Amino acid sequence: MTQPRRKSLSRQVMESIEQMILEQHLGPGDVLPTETQIAEQLQVSKSSVREAVKMLEALGLVEIRRGLCTVISENPQRGFLNVLMSQLYLHSGSTDDLRVFRQVIEAACTNLAMETATAEDIQLVRQALDQFHRKLELGGLDVEDDIHFHMQIVQATHNTFLVTLAGALYSLFRDSIRHSIRENPHTALHDHERIFQALLERNPQAASKAIRESADAWAPSIHPKSESPLRG
C-alpha cells in the first residue's frame, strides 16, 4: 500500500509545482527553485519533489540539467513527442492509423492557415517550396527541406499548440519522411506544389485531396515500432 500513496503524493507535489510556475510567471529558460526549497515550502520530502520533477520532465515542462538546476523547458514539443512515442510503442497502431493521423493534422493546419496566413506567411511557404525544388535539382535534398515546407504552413496558423504538436509529429516521423523523399522526391515536390496552390486559392477541398494523396505516397515508408522515431 506504500507505493500507491507515494505516487499519489508525487502527483500532488507535481501539481503544486505547476501552480508555483504559474503564480511566479516562470517562462522558458527560467530556473525552478531547488529541491530543498520546494520541499521546505510544501512540507514534503526531497524524494517526493525529485519524483514530481521527473514527472514534469517526462511531460516536457521542465529540463533537468544534471548537477546544475532545473529550468522551464525551452523545447515544449518534447512533451508531445513523449506522448506520441508512448502511443507508438505501447499500442503500435497500423501503418494506416499513422497515415491517417498525419493526414488529419496536416489538413487541419492547412485549412486553418487559409484563414490566418498573412502575405508574409505565404511568402515564407513559397520560399520553402522554392528551396525544396532548388535542392532537388542540385541533388542536395534532405528531410529537413520537406519538414521545413510543412512547418511553414503550420507556423502560418499562428497557433502555438499546433506548432508544438506538429514539431513533435515531424520529429516522430523523420526517418520515414527521409526514406520517402529519397524514394520519390519528384512525387513529394508535386504534392507540395498542389498543397501550396490550394493554400493560395483558399481551397480546403483541394488541400485535403493533395494531403491525402501525399500521405498515401508516404505510407509505404512507415515502419511502426521497428525503428526509433528519433534515430538519425
Give the residue from 79, 63, 56 showing the smallest Cα distance to 172: 79
What pLDDT does residue 227 have? 41
78-124 pLDDT tens trace: 666 666 666 665 555 678 888 998 999 999 999 999 999 999 999 99
- What CATH topology corresponds to 78-221? Four Helix Bundle (Hemerythrin (Met), subunit A) (1.20.120)
> Mean pLDDT over residues 117-139, rounded?
97
What pLDDT does residue 86 have? 61
Q: DSSP letter string over 124-166?
A: HHHHHHHHHHHHHHHT---HHHHHHHHHHHHHTTT-HHHHHHH
Q: What is the CATH number of domain 2-72?
A: 1.10.10.10
Give residue 20's region: left, alpha or beta (phi > 0; psi -120 to 50): alpha
> Mean pLDDT over residues 163-168, rounded?
87
Instruction: Provide the percentage of residues in the chain whose pLDDT is more than 70.
Output: 84
Q: Is the pLDDT of residue 231 over 50?
A: no
Instruction: Provide the percentage of residues in the chain whose pLDDT is more than 90.
Output: 50
pTM passes above 0.75: no
Q: Are residues 142 and 54 in contact, defined by beta-carbon separation less than 8 angstroms? A: no
> Mean pLDDT over residues 178-200, rounded?
96
- Cell for 163? 506548432
Q: Please state, as a whole number, how many other Cβ atoms lie within 10 Å of the Cβ of residue 179.
A: 17
51-77 pLDDT tens trace: 888 888 877 788 888 777 888 887 766
14-48 pLDDT tens trace: 889 989 888 888 888 889 999 899 999 999 998 88
Q: Are residues 79 and 167 in contact, defined by beta-carbon separation less than 8 angstroms? A: no
Mean pLDDT of the chain: 86
Q: Determine the length of the chain.
A: 232
Give the residue from 5, 36, 39, 27 showing the smallest Cα distance to 16: 39
The alpha helices in 24-94, defined as continuous H runs, are 35-42, 46-58, 77-91
What pLDDT does residue 55 have? 83
Q: List the domain boundaries for the chain.
A: 2-72, 78-221
Q: Is the pLDDT of residue 232 over 90?
A: no
